[in-house]
């Protein structure tokens, strides 16, 4: 886990495009390469059917909804700014449940797989057989701690497990083991930026406080069949989850959705969990309350935030859009109730995709008292500073840091960063980083001493200049290469780990010579294309073979190519410049220039550049010479 | 054949309380909800799992449903009755079936596993006159014990004599990785070091060995050289108003005996005791309500084809088949855990539990190996605590007190009691459970050579955490001292040589590695008889076998026992007219002699004075 998995980052930058097929695709490619970190979960094949939703096919439901909307005459919901309201302030708190990427269940040594034959990966304790006892699997702490560190939490030295009691068929023990009184991580926060898709009203960035992160058990999977039959798969019961609870500090629906999306990305980037929302690995509950902006403060207090209105909870939201839409619907419902003189009841509500309203699930009187009790069988968990330190040091770079490096230190635009990450499964991005590293070491900042030098001014300046240059070359010049024999989709045969037909060392050398004015831009292009063409003549067809002898041995080194073609940049002598200038001089233009139309000089300059076939003309010098020659004509 | 296996001949068969799962028998917990439940695995303590023990399981014994009760009357498989002197008495609970199986004179050689949550082993032991041992919490694995209150549950041992209990403990004490609450080997070693430091000399050094041989040696040493300066604590708070005179008498006798053999009797104060019972009846039902949540008819319990929502509340139909006492405790526990009440009940009770533990730690001379040693500031202490000197209150090695305030009540009187009245029986047993300490209940008047046909009375010895072996040794010695005393009374203090009374061991002659000589000579040296000095033991060797036992057939065939303390398969509920065992007093002498009131020594007299001045009320 040196640095972020780029696929994740790419999707993160591209916002709405969240992993589905593409993500699985990446998993497949990852398997071929030496795995950086183990993935224990495999994909979940059966879509989750929650207990609350009736067994109506999803497509049919959407169709029916569309029909009913048409019948009502509101075929399109007006796209207005739904994020903020003048009179009312919305407050949202979110709870996210995420499945951890672990090998075993939380309290039994049964394997934590999801696509095994139902009810095969089950230990006695998972079924709560009388007399069976929980055995805390310490390894499950590791992804949980990574997640908590990614969310900037304080890891508690001592945490405990509690029992949360409620009856449901998917809960064999009659209680869920969770961390209520002493969670393992507290007081975290994550920062959301404009590019995360937060509401405009929240400005450039907003910090969302996280109250706590706790570990808990998953429940059994219910598969509903027609005829009121529910099948239970206890493979899932007891899988480790983390629950992330925010402070009620979110005031805009799209910020809430951005938060959930960002949490998913963060958790994946630190390898804490592998399944996204769409495959049921992540579920969100939201707490919604509203209050009048002008009236006195509300009477309620949640997690230390005072003056809020009565809140309701919407459970089991399984997509980012659902989070946003459910919040909007619930906010509007609450406002409507309040404006018509009613009062909001503390209740639990549900939301189904495609619906306009939230549905009441159970009211206050049916509210479950979970009767939290410390579990008497499970000893407190003591987490040492050494473990935290180790995980922190091996966790690598988080997406926001990565973007900061690309934009603030290397000087790419967000758009370029996005392009780098989106081409060839982010292979371009890896390639780019290799080029930059190589360039820096050619410029006297060897990789080995980056630790000491990275803060120096010279390093920063070089990184900025060379980074931008390399970005331009990798993205635009290399992107434009093509060959008749090449795969038109991917002429470079760029792999997702950043290996392609051209070695990054060679590209770095080209950019280095260009930066040092040893070759001109035009010659650099020539060298690059020669290199690319020769790879089709000489490179082994099997790229893996090539990777073994990295950097791939091409017949000619860069220096030889340049030497052979005589492309070393030899500046033109003054006389040559004068000759060249005279040869393209157009008297008509000269007169215009002399009469004050200074801009026309660029026309001559262009002519001069075109005239030069070897590309040795330095525009600055040429302009100087042109001026001198024209001045001579004034006499 | 290792020396390990030989002492297992101390018992022939093992009865297991029906809330400990066995792979060979169904496990019902005395509940309708589990009436057909067959566990796929056996508990750690069962011989099949625990390879050290080779004794066959004879059957499962009745209990109060899920271990909740003090009289073994709350069970779907019928109540247990202790027939004694023409009366129907309570056998005590909740391990009443196990206790009767052990006590039944018709079936000798039975030892039993029970569970002790708040006295469920010691109480029936006291009522039926057998030995009931509750080890320190975490010594015996609870894996396979259907939990009632996890933080209090311990597997307990019932036996006719302490030696058998010690053997059974030695077989099953191994650290079990399947129970997260068992003490790890490292912790056991550490506890041993703490004890060895606090108790220098030989007594400290041999404490790691829990095997029956070491036990015998320890008892022998005490018998031969007395207790030499051991300090025994007598908690003044235990002298409650409800204490029956005969129990008080037995208590006095026990203390007198100990003092005669070198102990110093010290009055001590455990001020939190008066709240311990209330705390117990908050904590235990709370944990019970949680543990029993799984019996909702989805996996356990019988559903009768209707919807779960029939009735007033969800699952009311299925969960309605719990017994009255269980329902009462679930309700109580659910209430004390509810968000409005938890602070006032559950949290407070946990604090009281801490205070109870602190009380014990302050009183014991040996530090608690599980906790850092604490300085107890005199100003923090309850005013009622008696100070030994200006340095603070006295410290003792063991606490000796009655097991129960009264002897076994008749079933008739029970029917008039409220549930709360029956909770009162646990008042002396609950504190040790809350603190997780080892405690043994021994029969104290049974073998007295008097015309008494009194109901059994239990005396309890409580030691510091992990001091199990010493508790067993002291208990065993105390029993033998009492035997000797009654023997001497019989011989009017003048006979030089006498026969020992019937040994507590029912396998006379084939008790195992060491054997009591049936005709020892007792020689008095000096003025006072110090222990069983002069009683000779001789080694019968490892290959000793009882007569008639074929070679290679170490385990005798056990006839099937059909008494109604056994839980029977296909039992019809409430089979009170079943083949009830008639437990007779097995040694009733025809001679009459006046009850001997023991001489109260000066210390004891002082203690009496203290009590009459400031004895606490419950």
**Per-residue pLDDT at B239 exceeds 80:** yes
Tell me what the mean pLDDT of segment A180-207 comes to.
Answer: 86
- In A, residues 164-223, which contact B (CB 8 Å cutoff)? 165, 167, 169, 172-175
Least confident of A197-206, A456-465, B530-539: B530-539
What confidence category does residue A187 fall into, taking pLDDT thresholds of 50, 70 and 90?
Answer: very high
Smallest CA–CA distance, residue B157 to chain A, in Å, is 18
For residue A305, give the 3-state DSSP assignment. strand
More confident site: B111 or A271? B111
Least confident of A192-196, B121-125, B404-408: A192-196
Widest distance between CA atoms in chain A: 111
Question: Are A378 and B180 a contacting pair at CB < 8 A?
Answer: yes
**Which distant-in-sequence residues (6+ apart) come within 8 Å of A116 by Cβ?**
A235
Is B275 inside a domain boundary?
A: yes
CB-CB contact of B143 with B177 (8 Å): no
pLDDT value of position B207: 62
Smallest CA–CA distance, residue A385 to chain B, in Å, is 22
Is B290 inside a domain boundary?
A: no
- B143: contact with A, CB 8 A cutoff: yes
Question: Are A135 and B142 a contacting pair at CB < 8 A?
Answer: no
Is B170 inside a domain boundary?
A: yes
Most confident of A164-173, A490-499, A589-598, A616-625: A164-173
**Per-residue pLDDT at B582 exceeds 50:** no
Note down the domain range covering B90: 6-281+347-614
Catalytic residue among B95, B98, B120, B289: B120
More confident site: B372 or B163? B163
What confidence category does residue B422 fall into, taking pLDDT thresholds of 50, 70 and 90?
Answer: confident
Tell me what the mean pLDDT of segment A44-70 comes to.
Answer: 54
More confident site: B161 or A559? B161
Catalytic residue among B31, B76, B90, B94: B94
Closest partner residue to A130 (CB to CB) among B27, B177, B296 is: B27
Annotation says B480 is catalytic: no
Share of chain B above pLDDT 90, in %: 28
Nearest-angstrom CA–CA distance, B545 and B541: 9
Could you check whether the bond before residue A551 is cis, i.e. omega within 30 degrees of 0?
yes
**Which distant-in-sequence residues (6+ apart) come within 8 Å of B334 by Cβ?**
A371, B289
What confidence category does residue B202 fall into, taking pLDDT thresholds of 50, 70 and 90?
Answer: low
Is B287 inside a domain boundary?
A: no
Question: Are A135 and B20 a contacting pair at CB < 8 A?
Answer: no
Helical (H) or strand (E) element with A346: none
CB-CB contact of B58 with B90 (8 Å): no
Closest partner residue to A174 (CB to CB) among B37, B146, B296 is: B296
**Per-residue pLDDT at B240 exceeds 80:** yes
**Per-residue pLDDT at B188 exceeds 80:** yes
Integer distance in angstroms from the first to the last C-alpha of chain B?
A: 53
Tell me what the mean pLDDT of segment A390-400 comes to.
Answer: 80
Question: What residues pair up with B265 in beta bridges, in sequence order?
Answer: B232
Closest partner residue to B290 (CB to CB) among A132, A163, A379 is: A163
**Per-residue pLDDT at A607 exceeds 50:** yes
**Per-residue pLDDT at B315 exceeds 60:** yes
Question: Are A124 and B41 a contacting pair at CB < 8 A?
Answer: yes
**Per-residue pLDDT at A451 exceeds 70:** no
Nearest-angstrom CA–CA distance, A625 and A297: 75
Question: What residues pair up with A212 in beta bridges, in sequence order?
Answer: A186, A245
Question: Are A169 and B339 a contacting pair at CB < 8 A?
Answer: no
The CATH number for B373's domain is 3.90.1300.10
More confident site: B428 or B540? B428
Annotation says B77 is catalytic: no
Closest partner residue to B290 (CB to CB) among A129, A134, A175 is: A175
pLDDT value of position B490: 62
CB-CB contact of B564 with B580 (8 Å): yes
Q: Which residues of B12-27 are buried (b: 16+ CB within 10 A; e: fewer)?
A: bbbbbbbbbbbeebbb
Nearest-angstrom CA–CA distance, A214 and A185: 7
What confidence category does residue A166 fall into, taking pLDDT thresholds of 50, 70 and 90?
Answer: confident
What confidence category does residue A603 fall into, taking pLDDT thresholds of 50, 70 and 90?
Answer: confident
Other beta carbons less than 10 A from residue A266's beta carbon: 24
Closest partner residue to A167 (CB to CB) among B29, B37, B314 is: B314
Of residues B447, B403, B453, the one with CA closest to residue B247: B403
Other beta carbons less than 10 A from residue B491's beta carbon: 15
Question: Are B20 and A131 a contacting pair at CB < 8 A?
Answer: yes
pLDDT value of position A278: 67
Question: Are A131 and B151 a contacting pair at CB < 8 A?
Answer: no
CB-CB contact of B376 with B382 (8 Å): no
Q: For A86, which DSSP code?
A: S
Q: Which residues of A456-489 are buried (b: 16+ CB within 10 A; e: fewer)?
A: eeebeebbeebbebbbebbbebbeebeeeebeee
Closest partner residue to B21 (CB to CB) among A131, A167, A172 is: A131
CB-CB contact of A11 with A19 (8 Å): yes
| Alpha carbon B117 to chain centroid, angstroms | 10
**Which distant-in-sequence residues (6+ apart) come within 8 Å of A371 by Cβ?**
A164, A165, B289, B290, B334, B337, B338, B339, B342
More confident site: A347 or B251? B251
**DSSP alpha helices (H): ranges in A108-168?**
141-150
Is B519 inside a domain boundary?
A: yes
Q: Which two tokens stand for residue A192?
A: 């959301």
Tell me what the mean pLDDT of segment A613-628 comes to.
Answer: 77
Considering Cα of A563, then A567, then A572, then A577, what sign does the dihedral take?
Answer: positive
Question: What residues pair up with A99 in beta bridges, in sequence order?
Answer: A241
Q: Which two tokens stand for residue A392?
A: 């922190």
**Per-residue pLDDT at B573 exceeds 70:** no
Is B38 inside a domain boundary?
A: yes
Tell me what the mean pLDDT of segment A227-244 comes to.
Answer: 89
- In A, residues 390-429, which contact B (CB 8 Å cutoff)? none
> How big, in percent rounded to 5, are the helix, strand and coil portions of chain A?
45, 15, 40
Most confident of A127-141, A532-546, B99-113: A127-141
Could you check whether the bond before residue B94 is cis, i.e. omega within 30 degrees of 0?
yes
CB-CB contact of A396 with A2 (8 Å): yes
- Residues from chain B contacting residue A169 (CB–CB below 8 Å): 298
Share of chain B above pLDDT 70, in %: 68
Q: Which two tokens stand for residue B121?
A: 């082993």
**Which distant-in-sequence residues (6+ apart) come within 8 Å of A408 by Cβ?**
none
Smallest CA–CA distance, residue A475 to chain B, in Å, is 58
- The per-residue pLDDT for range A237-264, each reduced to its tens digit, is 999 999 999 999 999 888 998 898 888 8
More confident site: A46 or A491? A491
**Per-residue pLDDT at A145 exceeds 50:** yes
Length of chain B, please?
Answer: 618
Mutate to test the interface with A, among B29, B42, B298 (most CBs of A within 10 A): B298
- The per-residue pLDDT for range A320-333, each reduced to its tens digit, is 888 888 998 898 88
Q: Which two tokens stand for residue B379?
A: 């100003």
Smallest CA–CA distance, residue A78 to chain B, in Å, is 43
More confident site: A533 or A21? A533
- A131: contact with B, CB 8 A cutoff: yes
**C-alpha torsion B537→B542→B543→B547, nearest 10:** 40
Question: What residues pair up with B233 in beta bridges, in sequence order?
Answer: B266, B399
Annotation says B455 is catalytic: no
What confidence category does residue B617 fall into, taking pLDDT thresholds of 50, 70 and 90?
Answer: very low
CB-CB contact of B234 with B401 (8 Å): yes
Least confident of B219-228, B479-488, B588-597: B588-597
| Alpha carbon A119 to chain centroid, angstroms | 35
Mutate to test the interface with B, among A131, A160, A367 (most CBs of B within 10 A): A131
Is B389 inside a domain boundary?
A: yes
What confidence category does residue A420 fall into, taking pLDDT thresholds of 50, 70 and 90?
Answer: confident
Tell me what the mean pLDDT of segment B44-50 comes to.
Answer: 77
- In A, residues 341-370, which contact B (CB 8 Å cutoff)? 369-370
Most confident of A563-572, B55-64, B109-118: B109-118
Other beta carbons less than 10 A from residue B145's beta carbon: 27
Of residues B430, B458, B442, the one with CA closest to residue B149: B430
pLDDT value of position B65: 93
Number of domains chain B is built from? 1
Least confident of A403-417, A532-546, B292-306, B464-478: A532-546
Least confident of A51-55, A123-127, A387-391: A51-55
Least confident of A77-91, A416-430, A545-559, B8-22: A545-559
Tell me what the mean pLDDT of segment B561-571 comes to.
Answer: 50
More confident site: A108 or A356? A108
Question: What residues pair up with B159 in beta bridges, in sequence order?
Answer: B131
CA angle centred on A123, ends A121 and A127, rounded to 5°? 105
- Closest chain B residue to the Cα of A171, Cα to Cα: B294
Tell me what the mean pLDDT of segment A180-209 comes to.
Answer: 86
- The per-residue pLDDT for range B339-388, each reduced to its tens digit, is 889 999 999 999 999 999 999 998 999 899 888 776 666 666 666 666 66
Least confident of A33-47, A288-302, B124-138, B307-321: A33-47
Other beta carbons less than 10 A from residue A497's beta carbon: 18
Tell me what the mean pLDDT of segment A1-15 comes to.
Answer: 54
Question: Are A133 and B289 a contacting pair at CB < 8 A?
Answer: no
Nearest-angstrom CA–CA distance, A73 and A77: 10
What confidence category does residue B331 fall into, taking pLDDT thresholds of 50, 70 and 90?
Answer: very high
pLDDT value of position B234: 92
- The per-residue pLDDT for range B484-539, each reduced to its tens digit, is 877 776 654 443 333 333 333 322 323 222 223 333 333 333 333 333 332 222 32
Nearest-angstrom CA–CA distance, B103 and B506: 11
What confidence category does residue A11 fall into, taking pLDDT thresholds of 50, 70 and 90?
Answer: low
Mean pLDDT over the full length of chain A: 78
Helices B162-172 and B212-225, packing angle to 10 deg = 140
Smallest CA–CA distance, residue B257 to chain A, in Å, is 40
């Amino acid at each position: 886990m040196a640095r972020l998995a780029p696929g994740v980052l790419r999707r993160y930058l591209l916002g709405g495009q969240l992993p589905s097929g593409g993500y699985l695709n990446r998993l497949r490619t990852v398997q071929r390469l030496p795995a950086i970190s183990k993935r224990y979960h495999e994909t979940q094949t059966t879509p989750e059917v929650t207990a609350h939703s009736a067994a109506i096919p999803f497509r049919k439901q959407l169709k029916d909804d569309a029909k009913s909307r048409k019948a009502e005459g509101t075929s399109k919901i007006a796209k207005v700014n739904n994020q903020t309201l003048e009179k009312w302030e919305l407050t949202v708190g979110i709870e996210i449940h995420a499945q951890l990427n672990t090998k075993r269940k939380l309290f039994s040594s049964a394997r934590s797989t999801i696509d095994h034959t139902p009810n095969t990966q089950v230990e006695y304790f998972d079924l709560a057989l009388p007399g069976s006892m929980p055995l805390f699997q310490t390894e499950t702490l590791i992804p949980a701690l990574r997640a908590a560190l990614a969310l900037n939490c304080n890891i508690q030295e001592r945490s405990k497990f509690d029992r949360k009691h409620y009856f449901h068929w998917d809960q064999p023990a009659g209680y869920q083991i969770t961390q209520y009184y002493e969670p393992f991580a507290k007081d975290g926060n994550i920062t959301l930026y404009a590019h995360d898709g937060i509401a405009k009203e929240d400005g450039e960035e907003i910090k969302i406080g996280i109250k706590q992160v706790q570990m808990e058990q998953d429940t059994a999977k219910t598969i509903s069949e027609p005829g009121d039959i529910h099948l239970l798969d206890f493979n899932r019961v007891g899988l480790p989850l983390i629950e992330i609870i925010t402070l009620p500090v979110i005031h805009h629906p799209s910020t809430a959705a951005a938060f959930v999306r960002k949490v998913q990305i963060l958790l994946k980037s630190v390898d804490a969990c592998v399944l996204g929302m769409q495959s049921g690995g992540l579920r969100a509950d939201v707490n919604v309350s509203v209050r009048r902006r002008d009236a006195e403060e509300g009477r309620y207090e949640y997690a230390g935030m005072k003056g809020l209105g009565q809140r309701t909870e919407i459970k089991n939201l399984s997509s980012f859009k659902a989070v946003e839409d459910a919040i909007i619907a619930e906010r509007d419902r609450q406002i409507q109730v309040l404006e018509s003189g009613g009062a909001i009841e503390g209740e639990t509500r549900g939301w189904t995709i495609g619906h306009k309203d939230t549905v009441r699930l159970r009211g206050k009187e049916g509210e479950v008292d979970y009767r939290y009790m410390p579990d008497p069988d499970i000893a407190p968990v003591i987490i040492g500073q050494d473990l935290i330190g180790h995980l922190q040091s091996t966790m690598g770079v988080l997406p926001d840091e990565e973007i900061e490096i690309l934009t603030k230190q290397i000087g790419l635009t967000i758009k370029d960063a996005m392009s780098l990450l989106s081409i060839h499964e982010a292979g371009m991005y890896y390639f780019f980083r290799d080029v930059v590293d190589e360039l820096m070491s050619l410029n006297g900042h060897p990789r080995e001493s980056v630790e000491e030098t990275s803060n120096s001014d010279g390093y920063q300046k070089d990184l900025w200049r060379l980074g931008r240059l390399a970005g331009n070359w990798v993205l635009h010049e290399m992107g434009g290469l093509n060959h008749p024999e090449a795969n038109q989709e991917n002429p470079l045969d760029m792999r997702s780990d950043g290996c392609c037909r051209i070695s990054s060392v060679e590209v770095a050398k080209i950019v280095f010579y260009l930066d040092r004015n040893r070759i001109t831009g035009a010659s650099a292009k020539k060298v690059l294309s020669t290199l690319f063409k020769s790879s089709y003549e000489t490179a082994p067809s099997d790229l893996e073979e090539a990777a073994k002898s990295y950097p791939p041995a091409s017949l000619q080194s860069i220096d030889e190519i340049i030497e052979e073609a005589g492309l070393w940049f030899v500046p033109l002598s003054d006389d040559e410049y004068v000759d060249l200038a005279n040869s393209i001089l157009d008297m008509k233009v000269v007169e215009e220039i002399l009469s004050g139309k200074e801009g026309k000089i660029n026309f001559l300059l262009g002519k001069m550049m075109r005239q030069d076939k070897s590309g040795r003309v330095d525009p600055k010098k040429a302009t100087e010479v042109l001026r001198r020659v024209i001045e001579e004509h004034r006499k | 054949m290792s020396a390990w296996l030989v002492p297992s001949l101390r018992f022939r068969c093992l009865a297991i309380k029906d809330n400990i799962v066995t792979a060979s028998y169904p496990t019902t917990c005395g509940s309708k909800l589990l009436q057909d439940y067959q566990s796929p695995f056996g508990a750690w303590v069962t011989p099949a799992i625990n390879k050290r023990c080779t004794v066959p399981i004879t059957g499962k014994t009745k209990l109060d449903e899920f271990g909740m009760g003090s009289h073994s009357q709350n069970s779907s498989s019928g109540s247990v009755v202790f027939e004694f002197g023409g009366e129907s008495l309570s056998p005590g609970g909740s391990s009443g079936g196990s206790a009767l199986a052990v006590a039944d004179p018709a079936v000798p050689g039975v030892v039993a596993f029970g569970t002790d949550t708040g006295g469920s082993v010691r109480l029936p032991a006291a009522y039926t006159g057998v030995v009931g041992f509750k080890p320190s919490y975490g010594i015996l694995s609870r894996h396979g014990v259907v939990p009632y209150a996890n933080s209090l549950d311990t597997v307990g041992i019932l036996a006719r004599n302490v030696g058998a209990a010690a053997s059974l403990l030695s077989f099953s004490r191994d650290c079990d990785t399947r129970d997260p609450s068992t003490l790890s080997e490292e912790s056991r070693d550490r506890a041993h070091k703490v004890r060895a430091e606090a108790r220098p000399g030989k007594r400290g050094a041999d404490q790691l060995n829990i095997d029956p041989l070491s036990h015998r040696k320890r008892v022998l040493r005490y018998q031969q050289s007395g207790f030499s300066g051991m300090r025994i604590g007598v908690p003044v708070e235990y002298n409650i108003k409800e204490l029956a005179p005969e129990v008080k008498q037995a208590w006095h006798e026990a203390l007198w005996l100990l003092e005669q053999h070198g102990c110093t009797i010290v009055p001590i104060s455990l001020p939190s005791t008066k709240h311990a019972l209330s705390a117990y009846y908050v904590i235990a039902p709370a944990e019970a309500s949680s543990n029993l949540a799984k019996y909702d008819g989805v996996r356990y319990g019988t559903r009768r084809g209707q919807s779960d929502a029939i009735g007033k509340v969800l699952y009311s139909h299925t969960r309605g088949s719990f017994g009255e006492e269980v329902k009462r405790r679930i309700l109580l526990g659910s209430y004390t855990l509810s968000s409005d009440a938890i602070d006032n009940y559950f949290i407070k009770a946990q604090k009281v539990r801490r205070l109870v533990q602190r009380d014990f730690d302050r009183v014991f001379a040996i530090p608690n190996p599980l906790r850092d040693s604490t300085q107890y500031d005199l100003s923090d202490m309850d005013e009622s605590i008696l100070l030994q000197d200006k340095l603070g209150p006295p410290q003792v090695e063991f606490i000796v007190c009655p097991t129960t305030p009264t002897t076994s009540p008749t079933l008739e009187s029970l029917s008039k009691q409220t549930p709360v009245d029956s909770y009162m029986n646990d008042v002396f047993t609950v504190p040790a459970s809350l603190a997780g300490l080892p405690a043994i209940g021994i029969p104290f008047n049974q073998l007295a050579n008097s015309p008494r046909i009194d109901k059994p009375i239990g005396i309890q010895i409580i030691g510091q955490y992990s001091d199990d072996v010493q508790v067993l040794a002291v208990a065993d010695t105390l029993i033998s001292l009492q035997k000797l005393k009654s023997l001497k009374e019989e011989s009017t203090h003048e006979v030089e040589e006498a026969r020992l009374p019937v040994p507590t061991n029912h396998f006379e002659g084939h008790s195992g590695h060491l054997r009591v000589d049936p005709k020892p000579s007792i020689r008095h040296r000096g003025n006072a008889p110090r222990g069983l000095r002069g009683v000779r033991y001789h080694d019968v060797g490892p290959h000793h076998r009882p007569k008639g036992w074929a070679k290679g057939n170490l385990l005798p065939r056990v006839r099937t026992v059909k008494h109604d303390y056994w839980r029977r398969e296909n039992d019809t509920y409430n089979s009170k007219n079943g083949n009830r065992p008639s437990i007779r007093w097995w040694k009733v002498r025809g001679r009459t002699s006046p009850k001997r009131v023991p001489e109260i020594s000066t210390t004891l007299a002082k203690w009496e004075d203290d009590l009459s001045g400031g004895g606490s009320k419950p």
